[in-house]
Amino acid sequence: MKRNIMLLSLSQAALITGTSTLLASSAIVGLALAGHKSLATMPLALLFLAQMVTTIPASLYMARVGRRLGFMTSALFGLTGAAVATGGVIKADFSIFCLGTTLIGMFNGFGQYYRFTAAEVAPEDYRSRAISYVLAGGVIAAFAGPNLANWSRHLLSTEFAGSYACLIGLYLLAFGFASILQIPKPAVVSRSPGGRALSVIARQPAYLAAVTSAMVGYGVMNFIMIATPLAMHGYAHAFSDTAFVIQWHILGMFIPSFFTGHLIRRFGTANIMLAGILLLGMCVLINFAGTSVTHFWSALVLLGLGWNFLFVGATTLLTGTYSPDEKAKAQALNDFIVFGTVTITSFSSGAVQHALGWQTLNMAVIPFLVLVGIANLWLRSKSPEKVSNK
């Protein structure tokens, strides 16, 4: 069990390292290849769109063939995408580069199930910690991704081609990790279309609260995170300061994963999720208070911490709302909604920042934080047993 969780954590590290490499460089590459500022973030937006679209077929595919083969298949998408993106940069072809990032997004769509897989291979009393340990793989990515993009940008004759060529090796590692996972193939009951109707599953108070919490937590985090470099540039901060803030934000997202599971066991899922909402609210308050590097740094650290508490808590809560033969469709709907929200915020964040400004952007997330707070309080009143310590 622990070996599987370690392999899943390393796979998660590979996924986030690749994504953070793209976050650091794809807009610059897109601007150079497309020649128009409005298209610069298109490759990254397509990555998130492909990730969203892939979540449902990925879940259904793995319900039939198993997690091991599913993750091996996804690594092939990543390998192909990295190779295509490298070729697009070398050929200076924007459409080829976009195709490469789209294929990498398909790899990411499968990779969102690393955390669910950890919950499935762990005993019930270890479930929240298993999810946390897998997400802790992001700590490696906080250092590896931006540094990989910077170190390898001149590795080949065309700038940044080396960065994407290095991702080929990264996804080869992901393929290797998946190939040695020891996870039983799904039982007949897991592959069958049995169980309750999806509409029945989705109407459960715990399921509604879990999906709403994950959707808002991820959406608010992504909305503010993507706009932060633009805001810092607008307030005349150096790019080195921006890189410093983003790196600490990623650390804030994933370092708590070493102990979030323990906190959930001690204080209960709902209490940790409510703490996450409060941390996100504190982030917004700090952004209202000032625009110095210290303000951006402290706000983005709290943004990462709040995301971690809310997302790990929501994932833990969700795993208790379905039976084995309902797993595929319940997880697929959750991730489609969550990463659909991530896609929308990816497209809209820069536009809102440009048109309305930093203060208005932060004000826009407050109603959603209130909504998810109400959802969690409602859950506690409707189904207190679902949010007890686990």
Distances (CA, A) of 119 to 15, 74, 260, 329: 19, 20, 14, 16
From 186, 208, 229, give the residue that closes a domain. Answer: 186
Residues 6 or more apart in contact with residue 159 via CB below 8 angstroms: 89, 153
**Residue of higher predicted confidence among 165 and 325:** 165
pLDDT of residue 190: 46
From 186, 207, 224, give the residue that closes a domain. Answer: 186
**What sign results for the dihedral spanned by CA atoms 17, 232, 284, 220?**
negative
pLDDT of residue 274: 92
Closest by CA to 28, choosing from 78, 83, 89, 99, is 89
Residues 181 and 257 in one domain: no
With a cut of 50, say whether residue 333 has pLDDT above it.
yes
Residues 149 and 255 in one domain: no
Report if residue 191 sits inside a domain: no
Residues 46 and 71 in one domain: yes
Q: What is the pLDDT of residues 248-270, one digit of tens each?
A: 888 888 888 778 888 888 888 88
Confidence of residue 175 (pLDDT cuts 50, 70, 90): very high
Q: Which residue has the tokens 């986030």?
A: 16
Residues 84 and 208 in one domain: no
Q: What is the pLDDT of residues 11-47, one digit of tens each?
A: 888 888 888 788 767 777 887 888 776 677 788 889 9
pLDDT of residue 189: 46
Q: Spell 334-366 as b/e; 16+ CB within 10 A means b.
A: bbbbbbbbbbbbbebbbebbeeeebeebbebbe
Closest by CA to 340, choosing from 53, 44, 45, 16, is 53
Residues 264 and 118 in one domain: no
From 166, 186, 206, give the residue that closes a domain. Answer: 186
In this prediction the pTM is 0.74
Domain count for the chain, please give it. 2
Residues 177 and 266 in one domain: no
Residues 176 and 203 in one domain: no
Q: How far apart are CA 156 and CA 101, in angstroms?
A: 19
What CATH code is carried by the domain that includes residue 256? 1.20.1250.20
161: containing domain: 1-186
Report if residue 281 sits inside a domain: yes
Distances (CA, A) of 135 to 19, 22, 331: 14, 19, 17
Report if residue 262 sits inside a domain: yes
Residues 163 and 226 in one domain: no
Residues 217 and 161 in one domain: no
Residues 375 and 244 in one domain: yes
Residues 140 and 200 in one domain: no
